[in-house]
Amino acid sequence: MKNVFISLLIGIAFFCACSRTVNNEPQASVSDFVEVRAGNPSAIVIDVRTPSEFNAGTMEGAININVLEDSFEGKVKDFDKDATVMVFCKSGGRSARAKQKLVELGFTKVVDLEGGITDWKKAGGKVIVPQQ
């Protein structure tokens, strides 16, 4: 019985460590962001910058929904609230705002990239120019 209890505690600790980049936590480092994305290939990745910033270069597979537009909430409201949603901007300010809005809308797994695409590029992350 004691071994079962210890195994349960280890499992809970592992789960907590792996889920530290969701709603109640601060922004995720580039390495954490990559790890979460690799573990969730169906994650929704949202570039919350302006369309011109998005068109200048973004992450592969990202969709553009500008957090500063009034239509942001309307565009995300039909997404699966239990899906992993990953957000980023230029340096982390707008994505923090987007994360807050998503959490308020009931999304349960939101990951916000610390340092935005700027830190992504510094770390050697791939940037693509989207098809027009």
Q: Which domain holds residue 72?
A: 22-122
Q: Which two tokens stand for residue 117?
A: 């695409």
Where would I find the H helices in the chain?
2-18, 30-39, 51-56, 72-76, 93-104, 116-122
Q: Does the residue 9 lie in any domain? A: no
**pLDDT tens per residue, range 64-118:** 999 999 999 999 999 999 999 999 999 999 999 999 999 999 999 999 999 999 9
The domain total for the chain is 1
CATH number of the domain enclosing 82: 3.40.250.10
Q: Does the residue 12 lie in any domain? A: no
The pLDDT of residue 25 is 67
What is the model's pTM?
0.81
